[in-house]
Amino acid sequence: MGKEVNGVSRSRFEMFSNSDEAAINKKLPKELLLRIFSFLDVVTLCRCAQVSRSWNVLALDGSNWQRIDLFDFQRDIEGRVVENISKRCGGFLRKLSLRGCLGVGDSALRTFAQNCRNIELLSLNGCTKITDTTCTSLSKFCPKLKHLDLASCTSITNQSLKALSEGCPLLEQLNISWCDQVTKDGIQALVRCCPGLKGLFLKGCTQLEDEALKYIGAHCPELVTLNLQTCSHCCPPAADSIVPTVCLPPPPPPAPALGAADHRRRPDYHLPWLPPTAVALCFRLRQHHRCYP
């Protein structure tokens, strides 16, 4: 095996014959071409891969596929595509969005999890074939996972949250909106083992009750974003268990007024039933977000 350059061995560079070399290949070293390819999107990389044998090897090198968003191809993406991508990218892949890819199921994602163990951000939003089996695979093989979007994956249950709590302790953002089988038991298991949670999106989790909020308040000191829209069984008094945990006491001087541009840059912290008095005391959230009852 030859000396490695940017993750690609020289033996791979030296495998191309002179007949395969176009003028640009003769003028530019393979290392530079690989660097150029690293700035291209998925579609352009695939086109470059069809130019020549040497470009095919470089364009499809795993180092160029660290961030992949397949939303624009959602109708065409099937499980085998995800499996092939995972085998090609391996440990290079850090971020993958399969949002809206209805043809992707548990089997493909098990192969993905086994091959892409350095994944940090994964969006499965709207992948309705996904079940608890996928979360079990992620728990087993993807300990570096930080951001996971499972919104509208309606087959997800408490078992998924328990699995994630056991194998993905670095979770910072979790979206399980509209996963209406989740209850307080799943939330309890999750927050006890994932203390670094900063964003929790529970919109449409209609089985959640006040006790779930108490668990969140007790175990999520880093929380800055919480969405409980349409969680009709959560009552205003339960918010008292969250506000002292995620908010700091207000400082003596008032915060300066913000311009319209500042407000546009700040995300919302939406607790539709939170009492106005609680919002007024919530200095930490007001400092970084727009808060409203």
pLDDT digits (tens, 9 = 90+) for 214-227: 899 899 999 999 99
CB atoms within 10 A of CB 281: 17
Q: Tell me the pLDDT band of 239, cut-offs 50, 70 and 90.
A: low
pLDDT digits (tens, 9 = 90+) for 59-68: 888 888 899 9
The pTM (predicted TM-score) of the whole model is 0.73
User: What is the phi/psi pair of residue 204, to 5°?
Assistant: 80, 5
**Crossing angle between the packed helical segments 184-193 and 158-167, to the nearest 10 degrees:** 10
Domains and their CATH numbers in the chain: 1-64 (no CATH), 65-292 (3.80.10.10)
Q: Out of 93-107, 149-163, 175-189, 244-258, pick the least confident.
A: 244-258
CA R_g for the chain: 23
Higher local confidence (pLDDT), 59 or 16? 59
Highest mean pLDDT among 81-85, 109-113, 285-289: 109-113
CB atoms within 10 A of CB 253: 6
